[in-house]
């Protein structure tokens, strides 16, 4: 069977939809804030630069308020979520935020699942977590009405993806074992924790599940303070070090810290030492000019990784390091006077992925590289509006400037390999990272609603936020599917499947749901694929099939 393609992540970030008997809508908070809001009154940074970047992002949206995908009428849902978070952090008008949230909500099922292909129900863990946190930041109920009337409870869907079996995978948000590789990663896990806390799930009977998710996240932090992005080896970060499978990932570390800080503030058990060590690692990873690289293969300075790190450092109290990151970010933003009289003047406010990209645009404009800038700007904006991600949940007013110093993711049995593959991992929300491969016209899967299945990570998303992009990112070597590492993790507990209204899928006689992962999510990062979901992406030109590199956003997560 050909597995449908999911492109990725903060959210940058990337499950099986299982439902515990008796679960319904009881987990959701009884009341929700209105969609929209302004940025945190206490958010430090550069409000002029943040507003300019947000204004440029708004100019890139289609008539529905979404970021266009690769085919006409097909929104990039993961990237749209990253953009929503960026606009909210920068104080975009409430009407615009409401319009963009509507575009996200109406495509949530097509993006995260459940979707039925050849009798198999597909759900993506990272994408589910990314939509959940997006709903929390929009201040809406987690029950999202889809085209055709299907009621998608994204909170219950995501909760059901948290492994409750005893063992090293306990607490891990993960894709199902029925079919396909497990694409979940650090961005996915981080976005799930942020989503649960954002929905106040720690105050319900599901508090233990939320704590389990936090505990698993903690196992993927090495004693040196950093987090690794991929962990399909049933090991903790420290245990994986001898085999070389615990490489530091700055994007994953940023997303992981954001989730831990949110969990601790919500009253969950998080050792302060984990936050302190993580922040210290990020400070040590900052380059002399204030910038940050991402993870393995994206070590060079880039705006996605720098944006994630800046917001995280600010939240952790590392004000000077956060300000240095903000200062570097001004060197890759299209602003007067440098762009005056240049081809880049038409895109004032946009943020480049790195300095070479910015220099090239000064000479010849953004042109066909617009996708790179669209994916860099949402995550980069957090260097100017340094808002803790969990604070996006609240209705929050304009950023205040701060002094800017001078720059200084039971092993699974082998799964059928999809017909598409990804390139090795470069580096959120997204988290958060996996190098997602833009599907070509021949391979890109779209839902009946026309949305490209999957999306930007995260955030890096994990972005994303991979996922997670606050949740976007890149896949490790040997990965199959977009941002989907080889499946080695244990399956989620057996349970019944909650299919979409049109589904005819039924549980297996053994109790294992007949479901499968739909590749990796976003940012973010997470994001993070998120699918967090890393920011290197190869865009397939729909007509010519030409390839060009684009950045990762809510990475690994989307």
Report the candidate in 392, 526, 536, 375 with the shortest Cα–Cα distance to residue 459. Answer: 526
- In terms of Cα–Cα distance, which of 476, 421, 517, 465 is closest to 240? 476
Q: From CA 465, how far away is CA 11, in angstroms rounded? A: 2
Q: Which residues contact 341 (CB under 8 A, 6 or more apart)?
A: none
Asked if 457 contacts 433 with a C-beta cutoff of 8 angstroms, the reply is: yes
Q: Evaluate the omega torsion of the peptide bond into residue 535 and state whether it is cis, within 30 degrees of 0.
A: no
Are 316 and 283 a contacting pair, CB within 8 Å? no
**Integer CA distances (angstroms), 259 to 102, 168, 386, 541, in order:** 26, 20, 15, 36
Instruction: State yes or no: pLDDT of 447 exceeds 80.
Output: no
* DSSP 8-state symbol, 332: G
Local structure of 73: helix, strand or coil: coil
Neighbours of 26 (CB within 10 A): 10
Q: Once rounded to an integer, what is the mean pLDDT over residues 223-242?
A: 97
Kindly report, residue by residue over 324-368, the tens digit of the pLDDT: 999 999 999 999 999 999 999 999 999 999 999 999 999 999 999
Q: What is the pLDDT of residue 179?
A: 56
Which of 53, 3, 22, 35 has its CA nearest to residue 378? 53
The DSSP secondary-structure symbol of 344 reads: G
Q: Encoding tokens for residue 353?
A: 């992925």
If residue 131 lies in a helix (H) or strand (E), which one and from where to where? Answer: helix 125-138
Phi/psi-derived region of residue 152, left when phi > 0, alpha when psi is between -120 and 50, beta in every other case: beta
Confidence band of 414 (pLDDT split at 50, 70, 90): very low
Q: Residue 503, exposed/middle/buried by CB under 10 A (0-12, 13-18, 19+)?
A: middle
pLDDT at 530 over 70: no
First to last CA, the chain: 24
State the helix-helix crossing angle for 47-59 and 370-380, rounded to 10 degrees: 140
Q: How far is it, in rounded angstroms, from Cα 228 to Cα 221?
A: 7
Looking at 3.40.1160.10, 3.20.20.140, 1.10.1270.20, 1.50.10.20, the CATH number of the domain 18-550 comes to: 1.50.10.20
DSSP secondary structure letter of residue 354: S
From CA 447, how far away is CA 6, in angstroms rounded?
Answer: 11
Neighbouring residues of 31: CB distance < 8 A, sequence distance ≥ 6: none
208 forms beta bridges with none
pTM: 0.72
**Alpha-carbon span 490 to 485, nearest angstrom:** 14
Over residues 358-385, the pLDDT tens digits come to 999 999 999 999 999 999 999 999 999 9
Question: What contacts 411, CB < 8 A, 6 or more positions away?
Answer: 234, 488, 489, 490
pLDDT at position 511: 29
The reported pLDDT for the residue numbered 72 is 83
pLDDT tens, 60-105?
999 999 999 988 889 999 999 999 999 999 999 999 999 999 999 9
Find the Cα–Cα–Cα–Cα dihedral 133, 161, 487, 126, rounded to 10°.
-10
């Amino acid at each position: 069977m050909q597995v449908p393609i999911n492109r990725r992540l903060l959210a940058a970030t990337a499950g099986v939809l299982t439902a515990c008997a008796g679960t319904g809508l009881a987990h959701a908070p009884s009341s929700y804030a209105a969609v929209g809001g302004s940025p945190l009154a206490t958010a430090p940074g550069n409000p002029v630069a943040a507003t300019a970047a947000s204004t440029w992002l708004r100019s890139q949206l289609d008539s529905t308020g979404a970021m266009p995908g690769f085919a006409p009428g097909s929104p990039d849902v993961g990237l749209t979520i990253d953009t929503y978070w960026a606009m909210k952090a920068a104080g975009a008008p409430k009407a615009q935020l409401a319009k963009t949230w509507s575009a996200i909500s109406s495509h949530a099922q097509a993006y995260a699942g459940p979707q039925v292909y050849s009798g198999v129900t597909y759900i993506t863990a990272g994408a589910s977590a990314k939509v959940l946190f997006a709903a929390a930041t929009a201040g809406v109920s987690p029950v999202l009405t889809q085209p055709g009337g299907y009621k998608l409870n994204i909170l219950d869907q995501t909760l059901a993806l948290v492994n409750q079996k005893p063992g090293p995978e306990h607490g891990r948000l993960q894709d199902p074992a029925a079919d396909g590789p497990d694409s979940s990663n650090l961005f996915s896990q981080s976005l799930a924790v942020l989503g649960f806390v954002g929905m106040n799930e720690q105050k319900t009977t599901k508090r233990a599940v939320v704590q389990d998710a936090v505990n698993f996240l903690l196992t993927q932090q090495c004693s040196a303070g950093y987090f690794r992005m991929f962990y399909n080896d049933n090991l903790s970060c420290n245990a994986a070090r001898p085999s070389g499978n615990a490489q530091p990932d700055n994007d994953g570390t940023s997303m992981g810290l954001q989730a831990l800080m949110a969990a601790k503030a919500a009253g969950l058990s998080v050792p302060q030492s984990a936050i302190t060590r993580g922040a210290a690692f990020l400070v040590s990873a900052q380059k002399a000019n204030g910038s940050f690289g991402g993870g393995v293969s994206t070590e060079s300075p880039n705006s996605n990784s720098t944006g994630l790190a800046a917001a995280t450092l600010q939240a952790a109290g590392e004000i000077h390091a956060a300000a240095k990151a903000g200062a570097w970010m001004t060197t890759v933003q299209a602003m007067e006077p440098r762009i005056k009289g240049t081809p880049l003047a038409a895109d004032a406010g946009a943020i480049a992925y790195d300095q070479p990209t910015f220099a090239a645009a000064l000479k010849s404009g953004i042109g066909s590289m617009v996708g790179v800038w669209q994916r860099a700007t949402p995550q980069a904006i957090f260097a100017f509006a340094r808002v803790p991600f969990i604070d996006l949940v609240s209705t929050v007013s304009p950023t205040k400037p701060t002094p800017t110093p001078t720059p200084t993711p039971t092993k699974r049995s082998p799964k059928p390999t999809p017909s598409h593959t990804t390139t090795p991992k470069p580096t959120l929300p997204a988290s958060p990272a996996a190098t997602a491969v833009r599907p070509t016209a021949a391979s890109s899967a779209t839902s009946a609603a026309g949305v490209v299945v999957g999306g930007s990570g995260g955030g890096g998303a994990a972005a994303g936020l991979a996922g997670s992009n606050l949740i976007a990112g890149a896949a490790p070597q040997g990965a199959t599917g977009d941002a989907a590492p080889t499946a080695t993790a244990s399956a989620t507990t057996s349970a019944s499947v909650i299919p979409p209204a049109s589904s005819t899928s039924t549980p297996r006689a053994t109790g294992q749901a007949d479901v499968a992962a739909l590749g990796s999510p976003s940012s973010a990062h997470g994001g993070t694929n998120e699918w967090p979901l890393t920011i290197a992406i190869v865009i397939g030109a729909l007509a010519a099939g030409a390839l060009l590199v684009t950045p990762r956003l809510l990475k690994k997560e989307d």
